[in-house]
């Protein structure tokens, strides 16, 4: 298992493959291999595993729309950072609409944001009492797409509706 985001992860995954380790011990990681690092890692990432809450192949209409529009505009795969950003803007847009544009209505904005009533690229989405998302986590495998690019693909759901284990200890008041 590895947790090496960014440049550290790029070098580690390449060296892991160069050393022949990939064939002996499958590489599992979190936030090490994603759509921002895959172009630099290339073939060395093929077949590795990652765990995440989102993937370009997540099967729901909003995600399909998002991934298609993103790829058409930028000509590369969106990352989970892009997916989170897209969700955040959609949620803020719905909250502003819920208060009819009255941003001085702070209680209304907070209530609308806590409700999280927006079409998420992750599918169903809601917040726990401590404002951490309750969401699925997936085992993802890195695979070459038909256009030669690499992308993370869902293999199975690891956690369904996973909630932060410490939510009950949070002292935040609603």
Cβ atoms of 110 and 173 closer than 8 Å: no
pLDDT in tens, the chain (174 residues): 889 998 999 999 999 999 999 999 999 999 999 999 999 999 999 999 999 999 999 999 999 999 999 999 999 999 999 999 999 999 999 999 999 999 999 999 999 999 999 999 999 899 998 999 999 999 999 999 999 999 999 999 999 999 999 988 988 766
Q: Which domains does the chain have, with CATH numbers?
A: 7-163 (3.40.50)
């Amino acid at each position: 298992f590895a947790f090496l985001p960014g440049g550290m992860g790029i070098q580690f995954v390449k060296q892991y493959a160069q050393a022949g380790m990939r064939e002996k011990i499958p590489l599992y990681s979190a936030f090490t291999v994603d759509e921002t690092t895959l172009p630099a890692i290339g073939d060395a990432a093929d077949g590795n595993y990652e765990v995440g809450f989102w993937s370009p192949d997540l099967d729901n209409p909003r995600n399909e729309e998002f991934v298609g529009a993103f790829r058409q505009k930028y000509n590369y795969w969106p990352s989970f950072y892009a997916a989170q950003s897209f969700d955040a803007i959609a949620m803020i847009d719905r909250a502003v609409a819920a208060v009819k544009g009255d941003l001085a209505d702070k209680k209304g904005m907070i209530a609308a944001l806590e409700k999280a009533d927006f079409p998420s690229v992750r599918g169903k989405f809601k917040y726990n009492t401590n404002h951490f998302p309750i969401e699925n986590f997936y085992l993802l495998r890195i695979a070459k797409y038909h256009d030669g690019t690499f992308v993370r693909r869902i293999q199975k759901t690891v956690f369904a509706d996973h909630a932060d284990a410490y939510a009950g200890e949070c002292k935040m008041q609603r």
